[in-house]
Amino acid sequence: MREELAIFATALRFFTRLPVPWGVEHTAARFAAAVRYYPVVGLILGGVLAAAWLALSPIFPQPVAAVLIVALGALLTGGLHEDGFADLCDGLGAGGDKARTLEIMRDSRTGAFGVLGLVLLIGLKVAALASIEPDDVPMVLVVMHGLSRLAPLLAVVGSRPASDRGLGKSIEGEARSGRIPFIIAYAAVFAGLVWAMGGATELLSVAVVFGLLHGITRRLYERRLGGYTGDCLGGLQQMGEVAVLLGVLACR
């Protein structure tokens, strides 16, 4: 149990700016194993943002509250996933072979495709949150941040690293079979949450949109790179957030 807590703390410390209440030594094995707790980290972030929404929405108009919540979400993660999404947009948008694409994605500078992608992504999140019934937003935030972090776990289990270095390679170390029970458990939990939020129609809508965007995103980068990188996983997570929002809006 202590080791599992250490693995979870590793995930929380790396992927958020939230304080970790106990000291944990960073090891490669713990970092590789931490991928199985990504959705739990997302649920915690979603809970924090839901509480923030309940505090902000009575004070500000819904569009303003939506901007503040999206900004707070990026602040709590250090913009880590948004950065990965932008790098993925730059790499895929610029064209070229695998080596050239990886070179572009590793560049710390953000190009036109990355900037355009981020503008559209953030605009879509804000518009979607501003369009959902205010009382429903807290549960939507919990689901979108939790379920979206299942997407990287699915990619890690179903694919392989595109490079022999970087984040993608560092989380490969644990056997895939050990991660599958976590995927099944998370899928059941999120299905229950979406069902409670909107019933069978909303569950089907979210599942279909999530599956489509996840599949399209993976197809785009795997065709070019032959596998995933850390930026690809960040891009998948962001598309997972968008999928939940679009899935909820599609049936309302």
Cα–Cα distance between 181 and 110 in angstroms, integer? 37
Does the pTM surpass 0.85? The reply is: yes
Helices 230-250 & 150-158 angle (0-180, nearest 10): 130
Tens-digit pLDDT profile for residues 8-45: 988 998 899 888 766 777 788 888 888 889 999 999 99
**3-state DSSP call for residue 161?**
strand
Three-state DSSP class for residue 149: coil
Give the N- to C-terminal CA distance of the chain in Å, as an integer: 43
- Smallest CA-to-CA distance from 39 within 186, 198, 226, 244 is with 186
- Look at residues 149, 146, 152 and name the one whose alpha carbon lies nearest to residue 221: 152
Write down the pLDDT at residue 166.
67
Q: What is the pLDDT of residues 117-152, one digit of tens each?
A: 999 999 999 999 999 999 999 999 999 999 999 999
3-class secondary structure, 152: helix
Give the DSSP letter of residue 134: G
